[in-house]
Amino acid sequence: MIGVFDSGLGGLTVVKELLKRLPNYKILYFGDTARTPYGTKSPETVCKYAIENTRFLLARGAKIIVVACHTVSSTSIPILRESFPDVPFFEVVTPSFKKALRLTKNKKIGLIGTRTTVESGIYQRLFSEADPEIKLYTNPAPLLVPLIEEGWLKKPETRSIVKKYLIPLKMRGIDTLILACTHYPLLKKIIAEKAGKRVRLVDPSEEVAIEVAEYLSRQENVAGVVEPNGEPEVWVSDITPNFERIAGMFLNRKISLKKFSW
């Protein structure tokens, strides 16, 4: 079983991509909707939440863990791997970085994400080590996650906010833009429109799903213990009627949410 967690419902974009590439694998998802967003919290608090989320998924039978959250991926992966040394972890930062590195032509890359992800400096370090000539321009976009969680995907206000977040990056002449939050693919059309035709987007949901599929194709011992089942099991720490509607929208299917409280 593949375990996936995120601070809220955004990680369902990763589940959607996993279902495309691994339709016969059972997927267990946990969205910490009671404590979202993670991007405004301290790294210490985020690490605590990440460990708790991992324990929940493992207790329910997950064999590998996909961290579908940029905030956790940028702050907590070393601690998770130290705390659970026998568990394969996949995160969304490294595959996104690799894809952006391949895409950029002018070596000017933009990034939008939560404040914690941006301030972690993890992308700056990766690009600096890979190619010192690359210029990474970042802009925190803290309003996008709450707007997405509320289902404001087509509101004029959302379009206006996206435009304001992208203006400083466009002024730098970027040709590649990393969507450094798994919520953001739900706004991909708007972001692509506001970024312009010359800017290519990096979707972390697609990139991490490709990485997981490639890993499983090489690890028969892991694949053998993953329970086949095409329907994802979705748990959250808080439920509102709006969440079920949005979850269904993420996956293009009707979803019945299950609640787990800490």
pLDDT digits over 61-91, tens only?
Answer: 999 999 999 889 989 999 999 999 999 999 9
- The proportion of the chain whose per-residue pLDDT surpasses 90, expressed as a percent, equals 66
In the predicted model, what is the mean pLDDT of residues 207-221? 88
Residue 48 pLDDT? 97
Residue 229 pLDDT? 56
Classify 180 as helix, strand or coil: strand
**249-253: long-range contacts, CB 8 A cutoff, minimum separation 24:** 249/151, 249/153, 249/186, 250/9, 250/12, 250/13, 250/15, 250/16, 250/186, 251/12, 251/15, 251/16, 251/19, 252/16
Angle separating helix axes 156-170 and 188-195, nearest 10 degrees: 40
Greater confidence, 171 or 247? 171
- The continuous run of DSSP H or E covering 187 comes out as none
pLDDT digits (tens, 9 = 90+) for 111-149: 999 888 888 899 999 999 999 999 999 999 999 988 887
Q: Using 50, 70 and 90 to split pLDDT, how confident is the model at 221?
A: low
Residue 262 pLDDT? 67
Greater confidence, 260 or 230? 260
DSSP letters spanning 84-102: STTS-EEESHHHHHHHHHH
pLDDT digits (tens, 9 = 90+) for 171-202: 999 999 999 988 898 899 999 999 999 999 99
- The continuous run of DSSP H or E covering 72 comes out as helix 70-75
CATH 3.40.50.1860 residue ranges in the chain?
2-91+205-259, 93-203
Q: Is 47 a catalytic residue?
A: no
CA distance 28 to 229: 10
**Record: fold of 93-203:** Rossmann fold (3.40.50)
The CATH classification number of 2-91+205-259 equals 3.40.50.1860
Residue 230 pLDDT? 62
Catalytic pick from 181, 191, 202, 212?
Answer: 181
Contacts of 204 (CB under 8 A, 6+ apart): 14, 70, 92, 93, 95, 96, 178, 179, 180, 181, 182, 185
CA distance 222 to 31: 24
In the predicted model, what is the mean pLDDT of residues 41-52? 94
Catalytic pick from 19, 28, 65, 69?
Answer: 69
CA distance 260 to 262: 7
pTM confidence score: 0.87
Residue 225 pLDDT? 53
Q: Using 50, 70 and 90 to split pLDDT, how confident is the model at 212?
A: very high
